[in-house]
Amino acid sequence: MLGFILLIIVGAIIGWIADLVVPGDIPGGIIGTIVVGIVGALIGGFLLGDIGPEIAEVSLIPAILGAILLAFLLRFVMGRTRSRV
């Protein structure tokens, strides 16, 4: 149970950092920010884990970069759908 709570806290922090970097808001409010942080961390760990697993295991940088990438993609997709409506 403690691991799950820690996952949510770290996901929220990483999502918040991505929200600061990406212009505009991440869709979904605080829940969306947490999900972007968690999923972005998984994406960053997966992508940079192939380059150097020791970097992905030790640093939060891959998690933050993955969350920023995911936030940019979400803003791009959501911005396009909102402009059509």
Better pLDDT: 83 or 81 = 81
Q: What pTM, to 2 d.p., does this model score? A: 0.74
How deeply is 47 buried, as exposed, middle or buried, from its count of CB atoms within 10 A (0-12, 13-18, 19+)?
Answer: middle
pLDDT band at 82 (very low <50, low <70, confident <90, very high): low
Q: pLDDT digits over 13-45, tens only?
A: 888 888 888 887 777 888 888 888 888 888 887
pLDDT over 50 at 69, yes or no: yes
pLDDT band at 80 (very low <50, low <70, confident <90, very high): low
